[in-house]
Amino acid sequence: MLVDAASMYFRAFHGVPSSVTAPDGTPINAVRGYLDMSSTLITRRRPTRYVACLDADWRPAFRVALVPSYKAHRVAPAGGEEVPDDLVPQVPILLDVLAALGLCAIGAPGYEADDVIATLAHRADAAGEAAEVVTGDRDLFGVVTDLVTVLYTGRGIAKLEIIRPAEVTAKYGIPWRLYPDFAVLRGDPSDGLPGVPGVGERTAAALVNRFGGIEEILAAARDDDADGFPAGSRAKIVAAQEYLAVAPRVVNGQIDVSLPGDLADALPSGPAHPERLLELSDRWGLERPIERMLQALARPRD
């Protein structure tokens, strides 16, 4: 189980009331929500290993150099990512709890969690091992394969969507392997990815179905004899050539991030550091969510 940690703790922060605090009044809603969601996922999905994947760099320089608008709208006035003040101190607390439980959490300098996930999903797929990616980010539909499934949390854990190749095709009407190319054309305002002006989901789907990936679409647009372009879309593709030449490297997760080879041990059946976990539980008022996590970890797994 590869968890897009920021996606989940942001969802927890906004989904659990801010009135949920530690004994000293410190907001603890994101930590409680994250732990409760994780215990539910572990109980339901019964993974053998768990990795919380972190944004060591939420807006990598290599992506900004290619598409300067990438996540530009999320930059705080003083620089860095715009994050709610009450969430900032909760992330270290969450990481302390995960470490005490014995659950792996890792990021890579210069990369986003998406890149860590893409690398680990690629490793699993190449090894013939099933993997499940927990995220509320549609970009990660691009890692789906016959062995890699996305557990999409866009509507919450209770309404979890299981995204496999068939679901990608059914949802967007495209060959599932071409989802990243489709996403490049369509764009994603939430990430500051402009897409091709005038090309929405329907036209993007028609283009990838007719021609294939971005390279094939560009080649066809430059070929006066090529037909099958939706009305007006050839000119739009030609006008967006510079963007299309670089955007796939922004959209696609990196699959060669340097990470330890043997990253995550088998999911523990009990806490790795019981005394530290008890200390954190008492200090932050996390008795119930930690107990639910311990119960989830103790259950037999596939």
Write out the residue range of the structural domain in which residue 287 sits: 2-169+258-298
**Quick one: pLDDT at residue 209?**
97
My answer on whether 51 and 113 are in the same domain is yes
Closest CA to 201 of 182, 218, 215: 182
**Quick one: pLDDT at residue 138?**
93
My answer on whether 20 and 92 are in the same domain is yes
What's the CATH code of the domain at 151? 3.40.50.1010
**Quick one: pLDDT at residue 150?**
98
My answer on whether 240 and 156 are in the same domain is no
My answer on whether 103 and 14 are in the same domain is yes
Residue 207: pLDDT over 70: yes
My answer on whether 11 and 160 are in the same domain is yes
- Our count of domains for the chain comes to 2
pLDDT mean over 116-143: 96
What's the CATH code of the domain at 189? 1.10.150.20
**Quick one: pLDDT at residue 221?**
95
At residue 301 the predicted structure's pLDDT band, cuts being 50, 70 and 90, is low
Give CA–CA dist 96/113, Å, rounded. Answer: 18
**Quick one: pLDDT at residue 299?**
83
pLDDT mean over 82-105: 97
pLDDT mean over 50-75: 96
Strand blocks (E) in 36-183? 51-53, 104-106, 131-135, 148-152, 161-163
Strand blocks (E) in 107-194? 131-135, 148-152, 161-163
- pTM value? 0.95
Higher model confidence: residue 223 or residue 265? Answer: 223
My answer on whether 246 and 263 are in the same domain is no
My answer on whether 265 and 162 are in the same domain is yes
**Quick one: pLDDT at residue 232?**
92
**pLDDT averaged over every residue in the chain:** 95
**Quick one: pLDDT at residue 134?**
98
Which residues are registered as beta bridge partners of 106? 53
Closest CA to 289 of 54, 90, 86: 90
My answer on whether 211 and 85 are in the same domain is no
My answer on whether 109 and 163 are in the same domain is yes
**Quick one: pLDDT at residue 287?**
98
Count of Cβ atoms closer than 10 Å to residue 106 Cβ:
18
My answer on whether 202 and 278 are in the same domain is no
My answer on whether 148 and 29 are in the same domain is yes
Give CA–CA dist 251/63, Å, rounded. Answer: 9
Which residues are registered as beta bridge partners of 21? 27
> What is the DSSP secondary-structure string of 205-267?
HHHHHHH-SHHHHHHHHH-TT---PPTTHHHHHHHTHHHHHHHHHHHSPPS-----SS--PPP
At residue 79 the predicted structure's pLDDT band, cuts being 50, 70 and 90, is confident
- CA-atom Rg of the chain in angstroms: 21
In angstroms, the first-to-last Cα distance of the chain is 13
Higher model confidence: residue 262 or residue 32? Answer: 32
Residue 78: pLDDT over 90: no
Which range (162-171, 259-268, 291-300) has the least confidence?
Answer: 259-268
**Quick one: pLDDT at residue 261?**
72
* Half-sphere exposure at residue 217, Cβ-oriented, CA atoms within 13 angstroms: 31
Coarse DSSP helix, strand, coil percentages of the chain, rounded to the nearest 5 percent = 50, 10, 40
**Quick one: pLDDT at residue 145?**
98
Using the 8-state DSSP alphabet, how is residue 56 labeled? S
At residue 246 the predicted structure's pLDDT band, cuts being 50, 70 and 90, is very high
Q: Is 82 helix (H, G, I), strand (E, B) or coil?
A: coil
Instruction: Return the residue matching tokens 């510079």.
Output: 242
User: Are 144 and 179 within 8 A, CB to CB?
Assistant: yes
Q: Is 163 helix (H, G, I), strand (E, B) or coil?
A: strand
CA dihedral 75, 76, 78, 80 (to 10 degrees): -50
CA dihedral 78, 83, 87, 88 (to 10 degrees): -40
**Quick one: pLDDT at residue 302?**
54
Q: Is 32 helix (H, G, I), strand (E, B) or coil?
A: helix
User: Are 1 and 103 within 8 A, CB to CB?
Assistant: no
Strand-by-strand arrangement of the 131-135 sheet:
104-106, 51-53, 2-4, 131-135, 148-152, 161-163
My answer on whether 107 and 163 are in the same domain is yes
Residue 265: pLDDT over 80: no
